Structure 1
Amino acid sequence: MSRIRSVAANIPAINRRTVLAATAAGAVSAGVGYALRPTDSQAATTETTKVVAQSRKAPAAPLAPYTKGTTLASVAAPRTSTPYRRLGDGPGWSRVVRGELAAPKSGRAGRRTALAAFVQLTDLHLIDAQHPLRLEYLRSADPHSWRPHEALTVQGAISLVERINALRGAPVTGTPLHFAMTTGDNTDNNSRTELEWYLTIMSGGKITPNSGDLRHYEGVQNSGLKLYWQPDSTVRDGDKQLGFPHLDGFLAAAVREVRSPGLNLPWYSTVGNHDALPLGCYGHGDSWLAEFAVGGKKLMHLSASEAKKLQDHIKTGNDPQGHAFRDLLKSHVRDMRSVTADEKRAPFTPADYLKAHLDPAHRGNGPIGHGYSTANLEAGTQYYTFRIADDVIGISIDTTDPGGHYEGSIGTAQLKWLDKQLRDNKDSYAIVFSHHTSKTMDNTNHVDPARPNERRHGGDEVVALLASHSNVLAWVNGHIHRNDITAHSAPDGRSFWEISTASHVDYPQLARVIEIADNKDGTLSLFTTLVESAAPHRTDFNDLTQTGLAALYRELSYNAPGHSATLGGDPNDRNTELVLKKG
């Protein structure tokens, strides 16, 4: 197909020369992060598109392929054999060429030209670790239901931003990075505190990762309960019995003010279930739970049998509105600890999420709204299309289920909108972004309160739709906290790659650089390169600075009881070259 600038019926064409002149872009190869107005059947817009984002400028010297600062060079790995394993520099992960969808042809490295490059962050799970609604007590039934490093999510995320800022461009093609995309679960408890921290981390500024009484920490880690790691205490808790250290001053350092530089390139946002739903699984609407979230009581312990029952309710989706959860909390009011109430812990709605992104205080390097627009706000939608480069568009979809449960689906209106975007932009390659993977979009039985008569659609239907369009190159997502790359092909030869990336809350705590290149031989290559945060692999228990805590964040996550050792994926899910035919 012809790969010229897209002219869509409902997305005004962009004159590239005008754009470059207006933004003073120094090099065509750097690309411009064009922002296309989101549209859907309820909120189409025909107003003139304005350029609101620009890639960071290309460096003065020509860029070249590199490995430094990526997992090609080194990956954190254990350097001790003690029960609590200390990390250090480990061997890097090599690049694997995958040819399931097209045979890689010799000589392509000397022919290829770069089309676009970007960074995917996913599942940051910024956690207000003192929030009254947190489910830490599920740890009595499942050790990994609470992680010893959860008080350090802000420091860890800032260090990831620092790593992205330090990248010299795209590792394989050397092209400047166009933008960064977060693919959901940016927050954890659907709390306003966490939303503010997330937007400040991405856009830059000071953050105090504390809530309630800002003079000190109030949560499970100074409760004296042996169920949780008590870092400042002499209590011989269960984690210390596994080798976790005693760290005087840890909690005071964890809630101390930190600063984020913000991303130095444009960034876009995709919504996840933890961003849309309280605790990532309950629908909005229960006033008692909303009041409890900002109140002064917190449950910190539950019997293993009750914890297992609640966990089963969550997994099966039998309590999408949280009624059984509410009743459980009410029955344990006398067992709760008093904490400082805080209105800033209130849950945020999808409209609140949009308004926060549109707030000029969080613009950072743009674009305004980070993909979302006032059209989304008016229509009550959280999906949009944007232009990545001359020949490439991005489409962010909302796979969360407003009816409740942590698995995903999409409504009929959005499915039709997605089809229309791909048809209207058939002369551009397309990268689709979502939170959920195709295999975790199986939640189709709950009703969307805003659209009660609308049918919900699962991952198989989305795969079939994407495979019916020859311009789709990749579906990029998260949710499963694991690196996983799947080849999807249709009987007529149309194909695309599904790229799922590990979280930044569970080890190995990664983000992914994705590059699109034309091999000039009838094939394209998508290069995926994983990166860790900028924090050093080795930790120092005496270093409780912002950087020291970010390093400790990684090491604690590696040692977290009950964690999965398979989240890094197989070698063909990590650093790859994914080859596919040109449509």
Structure 2
Amino acid sequence: MAGTRPAINRRNFLLTSGAAVAGAGAGTAWALLPRQRPHESVPPRTTRNVGQPARTGTALTTLDTAAQLGRANAGGYRRLTSGPGWPLVIRTEAADAGPRAGRHDRRTPLACFMQFTDLHLTDVQNPLRTEFLRVGRPGAWRAQEALTVAGAVSLVEQVNALGQGPYTGMAPTFVMATGDNIDNNSAIELEWFLTLMSGGRIAPDTGAPTAYEGVQNSGLPLYWHPDDAALRDVDKGRGLPHIPGFLDAATRPVTSPGLGIPWYSTVGNHDDLPGGCLSPRLGEYAVGSRKLLSVPKADAAAYAQALRTGNDPKSEVLAAILSRHAAAARPVTPDERRRTFTPYEYLAAHLDPAHAGVGGPVGHGYTEDNLDGDRMYYTFQVAENVIGISLDTTYRSGHYEGSLGTDQLRWLERTLTAHSSRSYDTDGRLVRNLGADDAHVLVFSHHNSPAMIRRPDAARTEEPRHDGAEVIALLSRFPNVVAWINGHSHVNRITPHVHAEVPVRSFWEVNTASHVDYPQLARLIELTDNHDGTLSLFTTLVESAAPHRTDPDYTDLSAVGLASLYRELSYNAPGLAEGMTAGIHEGRAGGAGDRNAELLLVNPLSRVQ
């Protein structure tokens, strides 16, 4: 791929060394495939290089190179290297035919933007965190959690350096963060997120101003103690390194440049609820002076069971555990900044002009009207003839899965109707919507369709809830819905929602992995009109700006070094490395067709059919 390259420095040299260009080779068109169940990943289709404009920025995408695991040490821990890029996969399941020849030359760009999701900016010293679940499941606690801020700052730097999209030649015009932007529904974490996106200094430290008070200096072998060479904890047994000065570096202030383009915000369950699933009534523990670090396995199992079933909306099981073991909890310094916040406070913080950033907009999608009733959904202009719809799929009571209430579902239907001159009723009959202005529609939410259920919301018992199947049914009634873009699953998965009888009613669901767990990716999304009766939606995955290779002896504890370590630790999560093939674990990275893809669909606004 032609384009400029930055001057050689450690960051760019390590990022590009060993990289391979995405594989070439033309493929054939594929016939329309049968409908896939929402949780199934579609096998890879055709791979080929598509003509791309010269790069104007300095940042690479996973078309150029992607991190991969190197050789394991004695404990099984693996360093990262720069591997080959992931090729483009052309997918036609939602189109009425295969790709038309010559579309590369005639296509025009409609939109280009970035998706962040599941950043999980985490105050690891918060007393309400439940790291003790690791007693029963090693993966219930992440060794990289203390580095979420450094990793997210590196992602912001990467977006600022991207230049233009590889298929449209357009610079990204905004970033949409699709929820779980923070981890604990904590006021200080919300402040970190707003500062990350809009620019400023972040001190990822709470409690005692001169001492770390979390699990990683507790002396419990259950957790990785990077500063303690003598303690043989379970993670050092897996090969994780001894890194003197790690905790001091992880809690050191870091400055985010802020995004150089506008950004928008969609709410997730971790933004709305402590821990993403706990009752707001437990907020008193977050600002308290005791942090529970370990419990008997029976208690951990009881709490895990309550989480799995979702049958404890008041979090009574956890409240009992915290009370029963209060005397054994670690004394910590109370910090009012850890307080939980209400939906109204979440909206008000976004509307604070101090967080407008370079590109705005003030409110980042939310307006003063949202404060009336704490409505956390809205529409916005993506581009000319392209609108975005941001949904609130969270429960206000303690539950991690999602749904829509009846009021919001009806609002969504009215909004879609206002932007579609024709739709289909529930019986499949064509309806003309007089006075409606046609526009391509992109829907954003935190939860993906399989994670949306009909469980009543204990905080809004009077309102019926609606699941993912009902949302899919509604979206498929409007031919101009292009895609439903979401997160929550921490997995890359792209699903075609195909209407076999009327192909124009098909659309794509684009589910993107998190930036806290492997493989730590964001998506660059481009929409084009191919001027042949089809649209193309390109979904290019993007890593942070941090080098793939960490410092050989872990002495680089700068913000850049910590961001590299953040990625490397996520690739070495318990049980993950063992399931890797060529450095890729398809369970979370997804198959090739869930990563860098061209998603074809019928263009309902085209005169060429």
Bin of the TM-score, shorter chain as denominator length: 0.7 to 0.9
- What does 1:443-522 correspond to in 2, within 5 Å? 444-447=454-457, 449=459, 451-490=460-499, 491-493=501-503, 494-522=505-533
> What letter matches 2:321 in structure 1?
L
Query: Using the alignment, how far apart are the partners of 1:156 and 1:477 within structure 2?
Result: 21
Match of 1:239, SS state, is helix
The answer (yes or no) to whether the contact 1:448–1:454 under 8 Å persists in 2 is: no
Shift of 1:415: 0.3
User: 1:403 pairs with 397, 402, 410, which one?
Assistant: 397
More displaced stretch, 395-404 vs 260-269: 395-404
2:595 corresponds in structure 1 to 574
1:11 corresponds in structure 2 to none
- What does 1:265-414 correspond to in 2, within 5 Å? 265-284=261-280, 286=281, 289-364=282-357, 365-414=359-408
User: 1:186 pairs with 181, 191, 201, which one?
Assistant: 181
Query: Using the alignment, how far apart are the partners of 1:307 and 1:74 within structure 2?
Result: 41
- What does 1:1-40 correspond to in 2, within 5 Å? none
Deviations 1:244-266 (A, max 9, x none): 11111000000001000001100
2:166 corresponds in structure 1 to 171
User: 1:229 pairs with 224, 241, 245, which one?
Assistant: 224
Query: Using the alignment, how far apart are the partners of 1:396 and 1:73 within structure 2?
Result: 31
Match of 1:274, SS state, is helix
Query: Using the alignment, how far apart are the partners of 2:58 and 2:297 within structure 1?
Result: 47
Query: Using the alignment, how far apart are the partners of 1:64 and 1:554 within structure 2?
Result: 25
Deviations 1:133-158 (A, max 9, x none): 11101001111110111100000000
The answer (yes or no) to whether the contact 1:65–1:173 under 8 Å persists in 2 is: no
Match of 1:347, SS state, is coil
Deviations 1:389-444 (A, max 9, x none): 111000000000113210000100100100111110110000000000011001x2
Shift of 1:572: 0.2
Query: Using the alignment, how far apart are the partners of 2:321 and 2:404 within structure 1?
Result: 31
Asked if 1:531 corresponds to 2:539, the answer is no
- What does 1:35-74 correspond to in 2, within 5 Å? 69-74=60-65
Deviations 1:477-513 (A, max 9, x none): 0000000000002243211000000000001100000
User: 1:137 pairs with 132, 137, 148, which one?
Assistant: 132
2:31 corresponds in structure 1 to none
The answer (yes or no) to whether the contact 1:63–1:168 under 8 Å persists in 2 is: no
1:159 corresponds in structure 2 to 154
1:439 corresponds in structure 2 to 450
> What letter matches 2:177 in structure 1?
T
Match of 1:80, SS state, is strand
Shift of 1:66: 8.9
Asked if 1:246 corresponds to 2:267, the answer is no
- What is the aligned residue count? 517
> What letter matches 1:543 in structure 2?
D
> What letter matches 1:382 in structure 2?
M
Match of 1:514, SS state, is strand
1:16 corresponds in structure 2 to none
Query: Using the alignment, how far apart are the partners of 2:355 and 2:413 within structure 1?
Result: 31
More displaced stretch, 207-216 vs 486-495: 486-495
More displaced stretch, 107-116 vs 558-567: 558-567
Query: Using the alignment, how far apart are the partners of 2:258 and 2:588 within structure 1?
Result: 27
> What letter matches 2:556 in structure 1?
D
Query: Using the alignment, how far apart are the partners of 1:67 and 1:143 within structure 2?
Result: 38
More displaced stretch, 75-84 vs 215-224: 75-84
Q: Runs ≥4 in structure 1, deviation > 3 angstroms?
A: 62-68, 562-565
2:434 corresponds in structure 1 to none
More displaced stretch, 572-581 vs 302-311: 302-311
The answer (yes or no) to whether the contact 1:404–1:446 under 8 Å persists in 2 is: no
Shift of 1:290: 1.8
Query: Using the alignment, how far apart are the partners of 1:337 and 1:454 within structure 2?
Result: 41
The answer (yes or no) to whether the contact 1:296–1:341 under 8 Å persists in 2 is: yes
Shift of 1:304: 2.0
The answer (yes or no) to whether the contact 2:57–2:161 under 8 Å persists in 1 is: no
2:66 corresponds in structure 1 to 75
> What letter matches 1:481 in structure 2?
H
Query: Using the alignment, how far apart are the partners of 1:332 and 1:448 within structure 2?
Result: 27
1:29 corresponds in structure 2 to none
Match of 2:153, SS state, is helix
Query: Using the alignment, how far apart are the partners of 2:495 and 2:573 within structure 1?
Result: 28
> What letter matches 2:532 in structure 1?
D
User: 1:207 pairs with 195, 199, 202, which one?
Assistant: 202
Shift of 1:79: 2.1
The answer (yes or no) to whether the contact 1:87–1:537 under 8 Å persists in 2 is: yes
The answer (yes or no) to whether the contact 1:296–1:338 under 8 Å persists in 2 is: yes
Cα 1:66–1:127 change in 2 (3 A) is closer
Shift of 1:67: 10
Query: Using the alignment, how far apart are the partners of 2:458 and 2:234 within structure 1?
Result: 42
Cα 1:213–1:65 change in 2 (3 A) is closer
1:218 corresponds in structure 2 to 213
Cα 1:488–1:168 change in 2 (3 A) is same
Shift of 1:283: 3.1
Cα 1:423–1:440 change in 2 (3 A) is same
2:560 corresponds in structure 1 to 547
Shift of 1:562: 3.7
Match of 1:403, SS state, is coil
Query: Using the alignment, how far apart are the partners of 2:276 and 2:561 within structure 1?
Result: 30
Query: Using the alignment, how far apart are the partners of 2:251 and 2:185 within structure 1?
Result: 19
Cα 1:199–1:514 change in 2 (3 A) is same
Query: Using the alignment, how far apart are the partners of 1:542 and 1:73 within structure 2?
Result: 28
Shift of 1:193: 1.1
TM-score, L = length of structure 1: 0.87
Query: Using the alignment, how far apart are the partners of 1:401 and 1:126 within structure 2?
Result: 20
Deviations 1:258-294 (A, max 9, x none): 000001100000000000011111232x2xx222110
> What letter matches 2:289 in structure 1?
G
Shift of 1:81: 2.7
The answer (yes or no) to whether the contact 2:405–2:465 under 8 Å persists in 1 is: yes
Deviations 1:32-77 (A, max 9, x none): xxxxxxxxxxxxxxxxxxxxxxxxxxxxxx9659995100111011
Match of 1:530, SS state, is strand
The answer (yes or no) to whether the contact 2:57–2:162 under 8 Å persists in 1 is: no
> What letter matches 1:377 in structure 2?
L
> What letter matches 1:296 in structure 2?
S
Query: Using the alignment, how far apart are the partners of 1:562 and 1:158 within structure 2?
Result: 28
The answer (yes or no) to whether the contact 2:68–2:80 under 8 Å persists in 1 is: yes
Query: Using the alignment, how far apart are the partners of 2:547 and 2:242 within structure 1?
Result: 21
Q: Structure 2: which 5+ residue stretches go unaligned? A: 1-52, 421-437, 580-584, 605-609
Query: Using the alignment, how far apart are the partners of 1:99 and 1:259 within structure 2?
Result: 43
Cα 1:174–1:218 change in 2 (3 A) is same
> What letter matches 1:356 in structure 2?
A
The answer (yes or no) to whether the contact 2:456–2:464 under 8 Å persists in 1 is: no
Cα 1:190–1:483 change in 2 (3 A) is same
Q: Structure 1: which 5+ residue stretches go unaligned? A: 1-61
> What letter matches 1:561 in structure 2?
P
The answer (yes or no) to whether the contact 2:59–2:158 under 8 Å persists in 1 is: no
